[in-house]
């Protein structure tokens, strides 16, 4: 690290849990961010300001005036630009150091199979159930931790899905792909702008902790925020041994008590 980096990152380096080693891990790390919208905005900004060395941003969409109410990485002078490109510019305006790769694309299975193995952590900031499952499946296949957030209206949720070691659930254990929610998008439903800021900031925090080697306390927990009452619900979520995505290929022996999945799966928010 040079003198400018020591200065720029000093308030992180001062933290005992991070220090020079943690900062160096961020400088050497690669984060993959799916979606550069409401959740992706604070994620991109905080990963960028923290100095995460490589950030790959995927978004197929362009910046629209209706986005600027909450998608704070974009700006009025970047209207109509691809969101991934605009977000890269937003990071560079604060910290030009990270190598940001903007990809103007939809996150399909083939692209994810190319990108997820290269990443140290994946952040799902997408806005639909199908993409969430594609991202989750790629993270399970390639053994990468997934920091997942969602927000719609006044409600939001957050978790970390880390199926490595077979201890914790993946996204599909909690929200089975064959039980899709009614498609709800903030284009129709609306979303309270700071809610995506709250959840996106928490996603960035969890990703930074994972990258710094501090781990995350969120695997196996689903945090749900009622933004009207400002109340958090902290649900324990279990791995489903029969999960179509991460389930064991062979049945558990009868003597082994199987963990029970959440009996009433919470409803996934799908918008951002
Ligand atoms: Zn699973």
Share of the chain above pLDDT 70, in %: 89
Quick one: average pLDDT of 97-124?
A: 98
| pLDDT above 80 for 226 | yes
- Euclidean distance between CA atoms 62 and 247, whole angstroms: 37
Neighbours of ion ligand 1 (CB under 5 A): 170, 172-173, 243, 245-246
Helical spans, DSSP H, in 105-191: 109-115, 129-142, 171-174, 186-189
Quick one: average pLDDT of 29-44?
A: 98
Which two tokens mark 201?
């900031």
Residue ranges per domain, the chain?
A: 3-236
Q: Which CATH class is domain 3-236?
A: alpha beta
- Euclidean distance between CA atoms 212 and 47, whole angstroms: 12
Question: Which segment of 173-177, 227-231, 268-272 scores lowest on mean pLDDT?
Answer: 268-272
Q: How far is the CA of 84 from the centre of ligand 1 (A)?
A: 29
pLDDT tens by residue, 4-29: 999 999 999 999 999 999 999 999 99
Q: By C-alpha distance, which of 1, 81, 83 is closest to 43? A: 83
Residue 249: the pLDDT is 61
Which two tokens mark 123?
């952040």
Q: How far is the CA of 253 from the centre of ligand 1 (A)?
A: 19
Q: How far is the CA of 132 from the centre of ligand 1 (A)?
A: 13
From the list 186, 243, 245, 246, the catalytic residue is 186
Lookup result for tokens 């159930």: 129
Say whether 139 is catalytic: no
Give one word for 105, left, alpha or beta, with left for phi > 0 and alpha for psi -120 to 50.
beta
Q: How far is the CA of 57 from the centre of ligand 1 (A)?
A: 25
pLDDT tens by residue, 127-184: 999 999 999 999 999 999 999 999 999 999 999 999 898 999 999 999 998 887 776 6
Q: How far is the CA of 166 from the centre of ligand 1 (A)?
A: 9
pTM for this model (two decimals)? 0.91
Quick one: average pLDDT of 193-218?
A: 97
Please name the residues in contact with 254: beta carbons below 8 A apart, sequence gap of 6 or more.
none
| pLDDT above 60 for 263 | no
Share of the chain above pLDDT 90, in %: 84
- Euclidean distance between CA atoms 229 and 219, whole angstroms: 25
Q: How far is the CA of 250 from the centre of ligand 1 (A)?
A: 14
Q: How far is the CA of 70 from the centre of ligand 1 (A)?
A: 32
Q: By C-alpha distance, which of 15, 40, 247 is closest to 149? A: 40
pLDDT tens by residue, 38-66: 999 999 999 999 999 999 999 999 999 99
Residue 181: the pLDDT is 75
List residues bridging with 174 in a β-sheet.
Answer: none
User: Is residue 262 very low, low, confident or very high in pLDDT (cuts 50, 70, 90)?
Assistant: very low
- Euclidean distance between CA atoms 2 and 145, whole angstroms: 30
- Euclidean distance between CA atoms 101 and 92, whole angstroms: 12
């Amino acid at each position: 690290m040079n003198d400018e980096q020591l200065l720029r990152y000093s308030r992180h380096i001062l933290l005992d849990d991070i220090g020079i080693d943690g900062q160096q891990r961020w400088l050497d790390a690669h984060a993959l961010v799916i979606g550069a919208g409401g959740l992706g905005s604070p994620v991109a900004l905080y990963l960028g300001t923290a100095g995460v060395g490589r950030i790959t941003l995927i978004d197929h969409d362009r910046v629209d005036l209706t986005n600027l109410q909450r998608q704070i990485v974009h700006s009025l002078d970047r209207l109509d630009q691809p969101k991934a490109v605009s977000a890269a510019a937003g990071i560079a305006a604060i910290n030009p150091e990270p190598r940001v790769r903007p990809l103007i694309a939809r996150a399909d299975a083939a692209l994810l199979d190319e990108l997820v193995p290269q990443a140290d952590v994946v952040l799902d900031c997408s806005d639909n159930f199908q993409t969430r499952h594609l991202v989750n499946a790629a993270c399970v296949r390639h053994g990468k931790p997934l920091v997942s957030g969602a927000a719609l209206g006044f409600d939001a949720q957050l978790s970390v899905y880390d199926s490595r070691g077979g201890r914790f659930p993946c996204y599909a254990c909690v929200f089975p792909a064959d039980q899709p929610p009614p498609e709800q998008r903030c284009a129709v439903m609306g979303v309270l702008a700071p809610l995506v800021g709250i959840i996106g900031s928490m996603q960035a925090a969890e990703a930074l902790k994972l990258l710094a080697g501090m781990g995350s306390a969120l695997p196996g927990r689903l945090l749900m925020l009622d933004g009207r009452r400002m109340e958090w619900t902290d649900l324990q979520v279990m791995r489903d041994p029969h999960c179509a995505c991460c389930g064991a290929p062979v049945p558990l022996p009868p003597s082994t008590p199987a963990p029970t999945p959440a009996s009433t799966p919470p409803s996934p928010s799908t918008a951002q």
